[in-house]
A and B are shown apart, each in its own frame.
Chain A
């Protein structure tokens, strides 16, 4: 009887671990694909490619030769894919990398500006005159970053091929001239098991 009890006591923690939620911290750049949908790896790949391309192209030299840093505003990246994708994950990565390069300045986006203006209005009423910031002193952007994410899925039963194409464009605000077009293509083959035990 004692043996049975001891065996049960030994097995119990194993069973308990089997039933509990297990969480492991992993490297943020590790590739983990669970469903085949767009995930952090895709977002990172797009950001890396876009940053590298954007900082190495000619458009930046023309500003550097004039000893100027262009001011960029992030516009809309339209999701035309078949998945709900958070585009901010790579646009923010890109914004940070370009800003940290010291070659580009960014101004607040449309929604951020609305909050800032609201805060300035509040300042005008409640902050001391010496510290309140005035309206009409905002920096206008020289360039706007716009983009699209497209996808072409092809599915047959448990097999699917999904092709994603992300395009980002920098457009001069004054002349509407496109100065840079970045592109990242990702192709995935997804196979799901038909049966399990």
Chain B
């Protein structure tokens, strides 16, 4: 066997092993979706734990994050934190990159690299750990997460020379601001609120009017009017109509998870030029539909025709084949539009606001990484095409039909290598909502409705006999992933 063909065959063999990384992601989506939608989170955990091969060694980060997310939805906060902390550790262990692994990825595809998470997922990971602590009333440990995440934000800011990428998370800073306030660190609370507004203004999420007004009056209350000027912040309502202004306000905070987060699929393009034959272009979308376009190829050049007349070997029947794949977002429609929280025995209500939209975050991530993804794709496609062409040349015979069959076979082998990195944590919600109800210290019952776009109630959850102390922030969680 010729050397180049050997390289190709070894590559294909490893690709067949690692190709499953791409299909595993789809398998995970299929196996976990129904349990997620039905709120049967522990069944989903069991299914993952019984089938760790769905993740493999390269996706250990996702394995732990997925289980941690599911335990969080199931409100088993201690278990959730065990898995989420492990995901953080794995991410840190993956800081050092393997040269051989990176080189192999250039020759095959990115699925053979260990999954290192996307920045917004890492923020979400720390946010969920913080939420687990807040659910248990442990503000101190939640603030440790704030400081850990801040290190990430600092590093991302340092790397982002143009200031255009995702480097800060509005939700994270907004929730941190509430936590700092609860622990009496008002300056830090205002700094986090400032960063939250800035992240809303610079990111893909719209600054909610409620947050805008809250921040405006909160800055004034804390003698930081200058922050309003720096941020260009104005109020749209008088202070009397804005709830919860002040420090150490006793309140019930409802965190709502609406809809299922986005997944990734791959979009592929294939083109085969059969010299002296035809030009075939295929495009496969993430839903699997294939569009094909066939055109007659230009005839052989004069030089080749002269060779044919002399009975010499020509390029007739040889093929030039290119395939490349890029990740594409697969959105999940959400029935849940918003949440309405009611303090049943105090009569107060609050409609939720969107503080994070993971669909928009993934879109932004794909945009931020587009140049790098395309560069990597081009390099590996070019390298692979050159290798395949060399292998084909080495195998040419005098029979154009035999050439065609050999060429098509080689192209098929090379095709197997090309896959986009379509891995992400699709178990995160589509949106994270917050509803805040300032209350007096006492014992309260809360009912939370999940509403659809028409305002119809599609689910309700009740929290009874919540005894809330002065200055306490009581966090309640409701997942409506329909």
Contact = CB atoms under 8 A, between A and B. Distances in A.
A158 B99 CA distance: 16
A82 B96 contact: no
B99 A155 contact: no
A35 B100 CA distance: 23
Interface in B151-197: 151, 154-155, 158
Interface string A117-161: 000000000000000000000000000000000010101111000
Nearest to B152: A155
Given A80-B143, A194-B97, 15 more contacts: A78-B140, A79-B140, A81-B147, A82-B144, A82-B148, A82-B151, A84-B141, A151-B147, A155-B151, A192-B96, A194-B95, A194-B96, A196-B96, A196-B98, A197-B100
A175 interface: no
Contacts of B147: 81-82, 151
Nearest to B154: A155
B92 interface: yes
Contacts, number: 43
A157 B97 CA distance: 13
Given A82-B151, A196-B97, A35 B144 contact: no
14 contacts: A79-B140, A81-B144, A82-B147, A82-B151, A151-B147, A153-B151, A155-B155, A157-B158, A194-B96, A194-B97, A195-B98, A195-B99, A196-B96, A197-B100
Contacts of B99: 195-197
B230 to A, nearest CB: 25
Q: How large is the interface on A (under 10, 10 to 19, 20 to 34, 35 or more residues)?
A: 20 to 34
Which label, helix, strand, loop or mixed, suits the secondary structure of the A interface?
loop
A193 interface: yes
B4 interface: no
Which of B92, B147, B155 has most chain A Cβ within 10 Å? B147
A49 interface: no
A193 B100 contact: no
A184 to B, nearest CB: 19
Contact of A82 (B95, B97, B100, B150): B150
A83 interface: yes
Interface in A144-197: 151, 153, 155-158, 192-197
Contacts of A153: 151
A79 B96 contact: no
Contact of A193 (B92, B96, B143, B144): B96
Contacts of A35: 92
A22 B157 CA distance: 41
Contact of B97 (A79, A80, A195): A195
A83 B148 contact: yes
B404 to A, nearest CB: 42
Nearest to A85: B144
A136 to B, nearest CB: 26
A83 B97 CA distance: 24
Interface residues of B, number: 18
B144 A83 contact: yes
A197 B98 contact: yes
Contacts of A79: 140-141, 144
A195 B103 CA distance: 12
B251 to A, nearest CB: 22
Nearest to A192: B95
A158 B265 CA distance: 32
B179 to A, nearest CB: 12
Interface in B85-100: 92, 95-100
A152 to B, nearest CB: 10
A80 B144 CA distance: 7
Interface in B192-232: none
Contacts of B151: 82, 153, 155
A156 B144 CA distance: 20
A194 B96 CA distance: 5
Interface in A3-56: 35
Which of A78, A84, A151, A196 has most chain B Cβ within 10 Å? A84
A196 B94 CA distance: 11
A197 B158 CA distance: 27
Contacts of B100: 197
Nearest to B183: A78
A156 B148 contact: no
Contacts of B148: 82-83
Interface string B87-128: 000001001111110000000000000000000000000000
Interface in B131-153: 140-141, 143-144, 147-148, 150-151
A6 to B, nearest CB: 32
Contacts of A197: 98-100
Contact of B96 (A83, A151, A195): A195
Nearest to B188: A80
Nearest to B98: A196
A123 B154 CA distance: 56
A78 B180 CA distance: 13
Interface in A49-94: 78-84
B138 to A, nearest CB: 10
Nearest to A35: B92
A84 B150 CA distance: 15
B329 to A, nearest CB: 30
List 7 A-B pairs, minimum CB-CB distance, nearest first: A82-B147, A193-B96, A196-B96, A195-B99, A82-B148, A192-B95, A84-B144
Contacts of B158: 156-157
Contacts of B95: 158, 192, 194
A193 to B, nearest CB: 5
Which of B92, B144, B148, B158 has most chain A Cβ within 10 Å? B144
A84 B151 CA distance: 14
A67 B415 CA distance: 88
A83 B144 CA distance: 6
Interface string B230-261: 00000000000000000000000000000000
A156 B151 CA distance: 10
Nearest to B85: A84
A156 to B, nearest CB: 7
